[in-house]
Structure 1
Amino acid sequence: MARRTTRHASPQTRDRMRYRWIVLGVATATQAAAAFFVSGIGAISVHLQRSLDLTTAQLGLLVTAAQLVPLAGLLVAGGLLDRYGERWVVAIGAGVVAVALAAGSLSPGYAGLLVALLVVGAGYSTIQPGGSRSVASWFASSRRGVAMGIRQAGLPLGAALASSLLPLVAVRYGWRATLLTGAIVATVGAGLFACAYRRPPAPRSTAGGMAAQVRDRPRTVRRSTLTVILSGTSLISVQYGVSILAVLHLHDTCSLGTEQAALVLLASQVAGAAGRICLAAWSDRSTRGRHAIVWLCMIAVIIGLAVLTTPAGHEPVVAAGTVVWLGFFGFGWYGPWVAHVAETAPPHRTGLTLGLAMSANQIAVVTVPPGLGLLVDLTGSYTPVWASLSLLVVVALALSVGLQRRAS
């Protein structure tokens, strides 16, 4: 049916259908490029600790620094996107990331690195909502899930590329060279988006379709929003916990070498990229809604975290396999989740709605990494970290299911 429709479509429609895949590729590449260095911090965590004499809490604070400004920046970016469109807002944001990383490569030490990452966060605020808005405006709801999943796979793909490249750069040239590498990659992403992206020729009639269906049910909308926030904040906590501490867990607890541990994280991030695509595509066809796929991810994450708290989770093979499992579900949840957020957005407010939802996630992103690092420093063990994250997801899942039943 899809092929028949395409064959009988007008030339303009066929061009639009082809160009939407270019838009998807550009948005995905820009996401990967902008997230490259920050997503790669986990892979060079051991090197950073040794070179800068950092505690685990200080290491977590590096990630927090990059995510602090987006607490407000995502809201500002969402408004700018709705007003000016995606092309220059996203391109300039990626350019700010590049400039900040280049300046950070000249910093004398830890304090300068923190400041550079604060500025990186300001630029990165435009990337997530901007890329999601661009994909939502080009794809119908029947394909939006898989398109969002592919686009969101840019983050773990960028992280996977960083995990394979940055440790080599750090060992050979030092930690400052890793920032310069990140700046070069972000510059490529900014240029690509500015040159290749164009807005749809006309507003999509289906944009905000789901919002129109529930506009007269504000109580249902509030409950749906709260469910999205609960699932998003709990799973983003797991995602960043695994990104920052998995290599250290494998190195300190399972006695894996730093290169082997980084390879496991690489495999986990590749699995996360696959998860974002597969789980989002499944949500396009799910009769129970996209939120049911997110709940499945929460259950899978609880199981994986529970394994890491047991003696079996200290065995190299089991721990490595569990980290990859957590990559698929603990990173893959974002595809169906962000598609659900985009579909519940009011007409012409997609950017702002995405910014609001992602701002809620930022609270967890800012507080969780240093908190988990401090917990490791105080206890000398990673077991309390995995147990705490598991409990957080259990509570969020129970509350989400309860809210959904009350709304139905």
Structure 2
Amino acid sequence: MAALTVPIIAPLAAGDIGGNAAHVGYFVALIYVGAMFSSVISGDLVSRFGAIRSSQVSLLLCAAGLACCSYGTLWAMFASALLIGFGYGPITPASSHILATTTPSHLMGLMFSIKQTGVPVGGALAGAFVPMLAVSLHWQGSVLAVSIACLVTAAIAQCYRTQLETPLEPTRGSLANLAKPFRLIFEHKPLRDLALCSFFFGAIQLCLTTYLVLHLTQVYGMGLVAAGLILTATQAAGIVGRILWGWIADRWISPRVLLSALALCMAISSLVTASFTPDWPLITVIVISICFGATAIGWNGVYLAEVARLAPPGKAGVVTGGTLFFTYFGVVTGPPVFALVTQATGSIGTGFTLFGFILLLTGLSLALPRRQPKPS
């Protein structure tokens, strides 16, 4: 919710700040740049200070970033984005650490998927309440209100610290600790495969949410309101998908095979979306968009549960932080690459075609059988 508050109030804030509302894309990119680097050190923070304490610090950083935004200057916005990003990065590794130590193995996929619904739910809350707050409290008041909500949540988390915190590992910060997540990932091929694939998963997820409305209005000829409703349907499908795929991964299909199938479905959806023309039936466009959202937004829970399962004992937070570096890197680089392809070809469909073929290769690589280590 904190990460999406500023993009929502951008049209109101742009005049006071002296910028262009379209520049909010740079703000979002800076958030994920901050999240990339804070996710790498998050495993070390969880080991030293605990998952709940790390989550509280993350909330305080988000609150500080939103408060900084209320100053209404370009430099304040720059600092705001980085602070929110630094707070965004450790949240998932910390929560993965808690779930990895408290969740029965046969419920890992489902519980991680339920946890990951917090992301689209937070976006829905931002979309529902931030505009109303901005109308009644001005845009500065709306960001301060969300900042206070972060502080209240951090205080509530204190009530569960004793119950959920695991024994701490007092260590000293060092460059070796910064490299530890990457060392753990690249020493284990299954983890390395998942981390690299998450780069493309993260890229297509943000490309879908960034460019679908533009594609539907400019290529398919749909009205802005109707295109916005279809984007909402894709987000809702992502919420349902996150829970559904986690439940399936716990019962019928191995997580790696399921992630391969989801990647192939993303690829097909992206390629079909690229083919939209005004002649297509509306119901077909809606169904394809929902399938696209259910897969491109719904993969996270299965992925994070598998990362936690493959991580060495007690290292779920460290490994998750390392893999999220690649995920956020995809989020940062995906939309700019999509934009460059679109500008070079003059077609948004070309961007969806390119990423469709990339996801096709990603899905096939995950489907390849893993080599079993030779017995020593």
TM-score (normalised: structure 2): 0.82
Match of 1:189 in 2: 153
Task: Give the drift of 1:380.
Answer: 4.4
Indicate the SS of the match to 1:107.
Answer: coil
Q: Distance between the aligned counterparts of 2:188 and 2:209, measured in 1?
A: 31
Q: Distance between the aligned counterparts of 1:383 and 1:92, measured in 2?
A: 42
Q: Identity of counterpart residues, as a percentage?
A: 23
Task: Give the drift of 1:122.
Answer: 0.7
Distance verdict in 2 for CA 1:383–1:180, change over 3 Å: farther
Task: Give the drift of 1:252.
Answer: 3.6
- The 5 A counterparts of 1:222-237 are 222-237=188-203
**Structure 2: 5+ residue stretches without partners:** 168-183
Letter in 2 for 1:300: C
Q: Distance between the aligned counterparts of 1:168 and 1:255, measured in 2?
A: 30
Match of 2:121 in 1: 157
CA contact (8 A) 2:238 2:294 kept: yes
CA contact (8 A) 1:308 1:314 kept: no
Distance verdict in 2 for CA 1:353–1:151, change over 3 Å: same
Whether 2:231 is the aligned partner of 1:265: answer yes
Distance verdict in 2 for CA 1:349–1:360, change over 3 Å: same
Aligned CA RMSD, in angstroms, stands at 3.2
Instruction: After superposing the two structures, state which structure 1 stretch, 247-256 or 155-164, moved more.
Output: 247-256
Q: Distance between the aligned counterparts of 1:380 and 1:246, measured in 2?
A: 16
**Structure 1: 5+ residue stretches without partners:** 1-35, 204-217
Distance verdict in 2 for CA 1:164–1:299, change over 3 Å: farther
Q: Distance between the aligned counterparts of 1:83 and 1:351, measured in 2?
A: 12
Indicate the SS of the match to 2:72.
Answer: coil
Match of 1:17 in 2: none
State which of 51, 59, 64 in structure 2 corresponds to 1:99: 64
CA contact (8 A) 1:137 1:200 kept: no
TM-score (normalised: structure 1): 0.76
Alpha-carbon displacement from aligned partner over 1:260-287 (angstroms, at most 9, x marks no partner): 433332222222111111101111113x
In the comparison of the two structures, how many residue pairs are matched?
354
Instruction: After superposing the two structures, state which structure 1 stretch, 140-149 or 244-253, moved more.
Output: 244-253
Alpha-carbon displacement from aligned partner over 1:300-353 (angstroms, at most 9, x marks no partner): 111211121113488555444333222211111111110000011112222111
Alpha-carbon displacement from aligned partner over 1:173-228 (angstroms, at most 9, x marks no partner): 7765553454244334323323334444878xxxxxxxxxxxxxx99963212221
Task: Give the drift of 1:161.
Answer: 2.4
Whether 2:89 is the aligned partner of 1:122: answer no
Task: Give the drift of 1:39.
Answer: 4.3
Match of 1:246 in 2: 212
State which of 354, 373, 380 in structure 1 corresponds to 2:320: 354
CA contact (8 A) 1:66 1:118 kept: yes
Indicate the SS of the match to 1:348.
Answer: coil
Letter in 1 for 2:246: A
Indicate the SS of the match to 2:109.
Answer: helix
Whether 2:276 is the aligned partner of 1:311: answer yes
Q: Distance between the aligned counterparts of 1:407 and 1:382, measured in 2?
A: 42
Indicate the SS of the match to 2:188.
Answer: helix
State which of 62, 66, 73 in structure 2 corresponds to 1:108: 73
CA contact (8 A) 2:186 2:192 kept: no
CA contact (8 A) 2:194 2:303 kept: yes
